[in-house]
Amino acid sequence: GTSPTEKYAASIGDFVYVGGGFRFVDPQAFLALSTAPPLRIRVSGDAALKNLSHKVAPLYPNEARANRLQGAVVLHVVIGTDGSIREIEPVSGDPVLLKAAIAAVQQWKYKPMLVNDNAAEVDTTVRIDFRL
């Protein structure tokens, strides 16, 4: 303003104090943060199992049963903020058993994992043992 007796509010932008000085923050940074993907945390397979609310057992493949094939299948899984399976990647196991394990795990449902009262995605592993 031009009057010494009147005060005018003016905004010149947003600043943060970093490393002993103020730094300008581009407004686009706040926009990018507001649309950032949800937090993803890594937990052990055992810890994730504690939140499992709906489990579907895998069907033993006929081919594996005929060949008396047994073993463990390990899958890398990302659980969404709503508790559903978002991503599955095979880590190890026989390809015949892998298909059955993936088909079953895709139907699993977990209770949402909370971090600071916000739902977080969970990065974990699932192990399924196939035994005759």
* Per-residue pLDDT tens over the stretch 17-30: 988 999 888 888 87
What span, in angstroms and rounded, lies between the C-alpha atoms of 55 and 105? 8
Q: What angle do CA 9, 6, 14 make, to 5 degrees?
A: 15
Cα distances from 77 to residues 2, 9, 47, 48, 127, in angstroms, run 63, 52, 13, 10, 10
Residue 3 has a pLDDT of: 66
Pull the structure tokens for residue 85. 């399976």
Q: Which DSSP state fits 80? A: -
Q: Quick: pLDDT tens for 53-103.
A: 999 999 999 999 999 999 999 999 999 999 999 999 999 999 999 999 999
C-alpha 24/C-alpha 104 separation (Å) is 51
Q: Is 78 helix (H, G, I), strand (E, B) or coil?
A: strand
Mean pLDDT of 29-41: 76
Residue whose structure tokens are 């033993």: 60
Region 1-29 average pLDDT? 79
Percent of the chain with pLDDT over 70: 91
* Residue labelled with tokens 């055992």: 46
Check residue 34 and give its pLDDT: 67
What integer is the mean pLDDT of 28-43? 79
pLDDT for the residue numbered 11:
72
Q: How confident is the model at residue 8 (pLDDT cuts 50, 70, 90)?
A: low
Is 6 a residue whose pLDDT tops 80? no
